[in-house]
Amino acid sequence: MGSNKGVRNLFIFGSLFFFVILIVLTFDTLSKLPGRAPEITEDVNAGKMAWHKYDCIGCHTIFGNGSYFAPDLTKTTDKKPEAYLKRFLIDPKSVNPKASMPKLGIMPEEADQIIVFLKWIAKVDTNDWPPKPILAGAAGVGGRELTAGERLYQSSGCSECHMINGIGGTTAPDLTHIGNTRDKAWLFGHFKNPPAYTPDSAMPAVEASDGEIEQLTEYMLTLK
Amino acid sequence: MTIKYKSQKIAESFYTFSILLFLVQVLVGIIAAVQFIWPDILILNFNTIRTLHINALVVWLLAGMMGATYYVVPEESETETWSVPLAKLQFWATVLAVTAVIIGYIWMGLSPQANSLVLGTRLLNEGREYIEAPRWADILIVISVLLFLFNNFMTMLKTKKWTGIQGTLLGGLTVLALMYLPGMFYTKSMVEDQFWWWWVVHLWVEGAWEVIAGALLAFMLMKLVGVKREVVEKWMYVEVGLVLFTGILGLGHHYYWIGTPKYWLWVGGIFSSLEPIPLLIMVWDAFRTTREARVVTNKAGLYYTVAHAIFNFVGAGLWGVIHTLPQVNKWTHGTQITTAHGHLAFYGAYVLLVLSIIYVTLPALRGVKEFNSSRALQSFWWMTISMVFIVLTITGAGMVQTYMERLMGLDYVAVKSTYNLWFWIFRVIFGIGFLIGVAIFVKDYFKIGKEPVSAAERG
């Protein structure tokens, strides 16, 4: 069509122009990627292969991309203890009876590789994504100064797994009423050596001085 | 009304395959929705069901577009398709390959260890979202698409009538074939993996597919209301041009948070914010041309075509642009907001497109001038109202999730299993409404041209 030649050429050459810009940006991006992430070891790659083998993306997201059916795993290794993750990968319900994830037959060495892979993912520079939640991160909620025990609870990342009054993780027991069920001696001893009190516990020992652990225990006892 | 060229008949095989997969897609979609409430309801886990849901969608839309092409190219070139046996071979090869891939997904779902490593690639499922098809299937898909493109190019070469519509259509399909390649190699870096993966996904649905949609929209407007070719083609170039000018660099909105440099926040933010403009022009184009129409014989075809233009803009345009700026996307990325956008965008941009082209071309393929459009309209309203409510429930779930998980810091599982429960229940109910619409459509598809039309039913 003769009279449409101008607009047709604008379409073709305009599109080519933007595609060329994309190619240039692609080269630039690819050259910058190694500087934005740790080195990829054989274990990281083996973990990525296992990630694909079990179609993890079919439920989870990573960097926020995936299936939105299960939690995003970008920063998982920053939040959950490694021992917990390993046991969860091999048999989810053995460490978290309420877990929806099925037992996929992931082998122990594959679980280790997936954890190494997820640790690599957690160190990638994602332009600060995911953002830190505004409300849960705020210290001194409601204008009240936090007690020493509350501060230790927050700074140790306890809420990544435990929940108090609806805020926190669901992978470990809810602590909202823990003051009703446990006494001081049990809590104190448990913080220092969890498996001695709960056989098979995946919780790491709290790394703090005895004085601080006592303050944490006092805080737990107020939760009734 | 009958087809002008006997070989156009091959379109019907593709349409039939297409709508059967549509039915499968919606059935497994309802199962997936139920799994949000009861994850263990079926022996196949959510990942397998979701893979089937989305792969069925992609394949049925592609099959529909291929059928449309086998119809449009002979008509535009004014000659028979270059080789009907080749088209039939390509059709059956596609059906066989797709069936084999589906069996593989189910097998892997039942026994994950069967997804073994063969020649460095996974045998049954690549474990990459949307493009799960294993490498051997990728190669078969590429061969099938190349045969398809070759056949249609040869048809065009017979008469060398280089119309804008068929040029743009084949151009879009060629880019589609090329953009499958960046998904066909392994990278050790997950960042690079997602970088190239988005080339495939984004440059398909916000690039090549929109170009194909623009060309088919022009063809349908010309056939339905008899607008002059010169006018429709001029606006088609404007539309598909703006689609690519904004969409190619709009790719940047997927590169905010995956480990790629920060400048993508600017590139993606600016260009993807402009992406709704060409979609709005398509709406205006559809309304402007149909207003001029005096006599419309194919009421259903026109209805679906205009609805396609509107919901392409609302679903792909508006529901996309609301969370495309990095300042917003930082909070909404990876939540159900994306799922909501995905559902309305695919329904508006591509489901309604393929259903429109079927309604526009089917009367001629079946050799009838008129058909009773009441079932088509009934199906349209069942599907559209249900889809709008599905999207509203998922949008609501996404807003709750964004606020509670991202802003307040509540746990993902807590939000999903308690605060969002009612949204999941409503989604299943509207999903069943959508299935009713699809069932009416499928019945209509098989009945058109095969039952008498009374004078009262006409129109």
pLDDT, one tens digit for every residue, chain A (224 residues): 457 899 999 999 999 999 999 999 999 999 999 999 999 999 999 999 999 999 999 999 999 999 999 999 999 999 899 999 999 999 999 999 989 999 999 999 999 999 999 999 999 999 999 988 877 655 444 456 788 898 899 889 898 899 988 788 888 999 999 999 999 999 999 999 999 999 888 899 999 999 999 999 999 999 98
Banded pLDDT at B455 (limits 50, 70, 90): low
- Please check whether residue B401 is in contact with residue B417, taking contact to mean a CB–CB distance below 8 angstroms: no
Token pair for B436: 């009713």
Residues linked to residue B117 through DSSP beta bridges, in sequence order? B122
For residue A100, the chain B residue with the least C-alpha distance is: B39
Token pair for B82: 């270059």
Tell me, what's the pLDDT at A143? Answer: 52
Q: Is B89 helix (H, G, I), strand (E, B) or coil?
A: helix
List of long-range contacts for B131-134, beta carbons under 8 Å, 24+ apart = B131/B183, B131/B197, B131/B200, B131/B201, B132/A55, B132/A58, B132/B51, B132/B55, B132/B105, B133/B55, B133/B101, B134/B101, B134/B104
Contact A33 B260 (CB under 8 A): yes
Answer yes or no: is pLDDT of B459 > 50. Answer: no
- What mean pLDDT do residues B174-180 have? 94
- What mean pLDDT do residues B99-113 have? 96
Contact B127 A104 (CB under 8 A): no
CA distance A75 to B447: 54
- What mean pLDDT do residues B300-311 have? 94
Contact B51 A48 (CB under 8 A): no
Tell me, what's the pLDDT at B2? Answer: 85
Question: CA dist B236 to A215, A224, B285, B414, Å?
Answer: 71, 68, 9, 48
B193-243 residue pLDDT tens: 999 999 999 999 999 999 999 999 999 999 998 888 999 999 999 999 999
Contact B188 A45 (CB under 8 A): yes
- Residues in A 140-159 with any Cβ partner in B closer than 8 A: none
Tell me, what's the pLDDT at B451? Answer: 81
Answer yes or no: is pLDDT of B149 > 80. Answer: yes
- Cβ pairs bridging A and B (under 8 Å): 220
Tell me, what's the pLDDT at A1? Answer: 46
Backbone phi and psi for residue B122, each to the nearest 5 degrees, phi listed first: -75, 140
Interface test with A, best of B178, B260, B331, B412 (most A CBs within 10 A): B260
Chain centre to alpha carbon of residue B196: 20
* Mean of per-residue pLDDT scores for chain B: 94
* Domains along the sequence of chain A with CATH: 42-123 (1.10.760.10), 146-221 (1.10.760.10)
Query: Can you tell me the ipTM of this complex?
Result: 0.94
Name the burial class of residue B227, with classes exposed (0-12), middle (13-18) and buried (19+) by CB atoms within 10 angstroms of its CB.
buried
- Residues in B 300-359 with any Cβ partner in A closer than 8 A: 330-331, 333-336, 338-339
Tell me, what's the pLDDT at B457? Answer: 54
For residue A104, the chain B residue with the least C-alpha distance is: B112
Tell me, what's the pLDDT at B446? Answer: 96
B158 contact A CB<8A: no
Question: CA dist B319 to B151, B258, B275, B388, Å?
Answer: 38, 22, 11, 12
3-state secondary structure B356-421: HHHHHHHHHHHCCCCCCCHHHHHHHHHHHHHHHHHHHHHHHHHHHHHHHHHHCCCCHHHHHHHHCH
B349-408 residue pLDDT tens: 999 999 999 999 999 999 998 888 999 999 999 999 999 999 999 999 999 999 999 988
Tell me, what's the pLDDT at A132? Answer: 80
Contact A136 B410 (CB under 8 A): yes
Lowest mean pLDDT among A213-217, B60-64, B142-146, B449-453: B449-453
Q: Measured between CA atoms, how close is B455 to chain A, in angstroms?
A: 41
Interface test with B, best of A23, A93, A127, A167 (most B CBs within 10 A): A127
Residues of chain B with pLDDT > 90, as a percent, come to: 89
B248 contact A CB<8A: yes
